[in-house]
Amino acid sequence: MLPQNGVEALCQALPFRGGASLCRQPEPALASPSVKPVPTEDSEEFSMALARRAFIAGGAHTQYLGKGHPDFIWKRHPDFGKRENPTLEDTLQEAVDGCLADTGVNPADIDRLYIGNFVGELFVNQGHLGSALAGTHPDFAFKPAARLEGACASGGLALLAGLDAIAAGADLVLVAGVEIQTTASARTGGDYLARASHYRRQRSLDDFTFPAMFARRIKAYGERYGLTDEDLAHFAVKAYANANLNPLAHMHSKTCTFEHAKSAHDRNPNFLGNEEFRPYLKVTDCSQVSDGASVLLLASEAGIAKLGRTLSDTVEIAGRGHAVDSLYTDGDMTELTTVRHATHQAMVDAGISVGDLDIAEVHDCFTIAELMSYEAIGLADKGQGAALAASGATALDGKVPVNTGGGLIGFGHPVGATGVKQPLELFRQMKGRCGDYQVGRPLTWGLTSNMGGDDKTVVSFAVRNHQ
């Protein structure tokens, strides 16, 4: 891992900052990957972060569920009053069981367990989720287990903790992420989620604090670079189209046409109360209020042997980035500076540059966040993120597909699960397990970006496929 103060200098020096972007020079940026050999444990350039190599051996998602999904029980569902939606306990159990079945791991062999969750205390009156995770299998009793919290980056932090455990000598580590959010209305949930902002200073922005914070970004970005409703509609349409191919997606059966997304209307309202920001954000620009869990198994090389598997069954977490900015200040509203730090750190850690990427999972909590993520990672130059989406380069059949399962807008956003879902999605894509939304060519390098708050806590992983 690079020291924090060295990252900015490295970012400046890297060829992908303001240089050969996908927008300006699509062919050179992606056609000439320069994948460097991954250092071995004996080699001199082996970094602290890779003190022991770590691999994803498999995992499972639950169905991501909420309003708009046909199985979600609400007042107009025929089963309303007859049965309930899955609880946090049900959801976590299902994902853990799915991970154990997928990897064939003997639960007794798991050394440590970590779980990401943001606000279980508020949505379901439940904290102390390390202990809940330990309760998902009798063989987990008395093993070290802990919960990590970093707003919507809680899952990413749990995975970082898992990597540290592998580096410290663990061979098999279970990493979970879970959130249940549909127990409250979207408006009440907006208050709970506002705990990820600086509540004292920013809560009054709007009842829907986070949607308002990103509407503010849409306004600022548009004033600097120009941005239309049509520009943002491309992101929403891609998210729903991918989700329509993904049976686990919250928005699997909801379609979103360009016509529907490109302007505000009764079924796609500008719903904010804040008059300054209301015109900038529509429902289709927003991620979902979802319930769900994702669980993956991390393994060292010895762990892979314990599973009776080989490197080719796994993907390697070859680089990681973790950057955090002050809760008390607002950064540049036209870019995701912390995302830039964390994602570049992960790529540097892995010895790759943006031209090496075959696929990415980015934190599209709102359409503008996906646009700004392209620019932060270096997939597009400043002001060119919308053009990249419109070109189709990040669609399922594009040069660098982004958020193939639908992202936070289409797949859904159970906030504590998202940072675990993203690397597991890269694993599933790289191993050809994505069914109707499978990318139809071999994938070697992928990148994740998981963001807590408004560009405050960011965790990023560079993932390498072993074929």
How would you classify residue 432: left for phi > 0, otherwise alpha for psi between -120 and 50, otherwise beta? left
DSSP single-letter state for residue 106: -
The secondary structure element, H or E, covering residue 447 is strand 445-452
3-state secondary structure 208-268: CHHHHHHHHHHHHHHHHHCCCHHHHHHHHHHHHHHHHCCCCCCCCCCCCCHHHHCCCECCE
Q: Give just the sign of the alpha carbon dihedral 327, 213, 402, 410.
A: positive
> Which residue in 263, 238, 264, 462 sits closest to 371, CA to CA?
238
Residue 406 falls in which region: left (phi positive, over 0), alpha (psi -120 to 50) or beta: left
Of 202, 247, 195, 260, the C-alpha closest to 406 is 247
* CB contact at 8 A, 261 and 233: yes
> What is the smallest separation between the CB atom of 462 and ligand CAA, expressed in angstroms?
21
Provide, rounded to whole angstroms, the least separation between the CB of residue 314 and ligand CAA: 29
d(CA 139, CA 100) in angstroms, rounded, equals: 12
Check residue 442 and report its DSSP letter. -
Bridging pattern class, strands 445-452 and 359-361: parallel
Quick one: 67 or 203, whose CB is closer to ligand CAA? 67
**Residue (186 or 241) nearer to ligand CAA, CB:** 186
Using DSSP's 3-state secondary structure scheme, residue 45 falls into: coil
Question: Would you say 207 or 349 has its CB closer to ligand CAA?
Answer: 207
Q: What is the dihedral of CA 9, 12, 15, 21, to 10 degrees?
A: 140
State in angstroms the smallest separation of the CB of 451 from ligand CAA.
6
Sign of the CA dihedral with 192 first, then 371, 399, and 446 last: negative
Residue 341's CB: how many other CB atoms inside 10 A?
25
- The nearest distance, CB 181 to ligand CAA, in angstroms, is 8
Residues that bind ligand CAA (CB under 6 A): 67, 151-152, 185-187, 190, 193, 196, 208, 210-211, 266, 269, 271, 283, 286-289, 365, 413, 415, 451-453
**Nearest distance, CB of residue 158 and ligand CAA, angstroms:** 15
* Count of other CB atoms within 10 angstroms of residue 258: 11
Question: Which lies closer to ligand CAA via its Cβ, residue 376 or residue 393?
Answer: 376
Q: Name the DSSP letter for residue 378.
A: T
Nearer to ligand CAA, 8 or 276 (CB): 276
Minimum CB distance to ligand CAA, residue 277 (Å): 13
Least separation, in Å, of the C-beta of 66 and ligand CAA?
A: 8
DSSP letter for 81, please.
T
Q: How far is the CB of 364 from ligand CAA (least distance, A)?
A: 9
CB of 208 to ligand CAA, least distance (A): 6
Provide the Cα torsion 422, 423, 429, 431; round to 10°. Answer: -160
CA–CA separation, 274 vs 290, rounded Å?
A: 24
Shortest CB 236 distance to ligand CAA, Å: 12
Question: In this complex, which beta carbon is closest to ligand CAA, that of residue 333 or of residue 451?
Answer: 451
CB of 251 to ligand CAA, least distance (A): 11
Residue closer to ligand CAA, measured from CB, 98 or 211? 211
Q: Which is nearer to ligand CAA, 379 or 451 (CB)?
A: 451
CB of 459 to ligand CAA, least distance (A): 12
Characterize the bridge pairing of strands 55-61 and 112-116: unpaired
Instruction: Return the number of the residue (59 or 412) whose C-beta is nearest ligand CAA.
Output: 412
